Amino acid sequence: MRVVVDRSRCVGTGICESTVPDVFEIEDDGRLVIEECDVAPDRLDPVRAAVASCPTQALSLIESER
């Protein structure tokens, strides 16, 4: 699975970063950087929690391309 961000929706709250700081990082300018787009199976649960906690539904999990 891959996690992607819709930048038109992200407002830089940092909730995703506080939920999974090794995957999501907010830059000083408020821009979200996703450190690991390809989500390892053992990281899926916390990343799913971050996706669900985003107040603007900016995050999505999609199937990885093979």
Residue 48 sits at the vertex; the CA angle it makes with 44 and 50, to the nearest 5 degrees, is: 120
- Pick between residue 12 and residue 21 the one whose CB is nearest to ligand SF4: 12
- Residues numbered 22 to 41 that lie near ligand SF4 (CB under 6 A) are 26, 32
Q: Does 64 bind ligand SF4 (CB under 6 A)?
A: no
Contact 4, 65 (CB under 8 A): no
Among 16, 20, 23, 39, binds ligand SF4 (CB under 6 A): 16
- Residue 63 CB contacts under 8 Å (≥ 6 apart), including other chains: 1, 2
Q: Write out the residues near ligand SF4 by the rule CB under 6 A.
A: 5, 10-16, 26, 32, 54, 56, 58-59
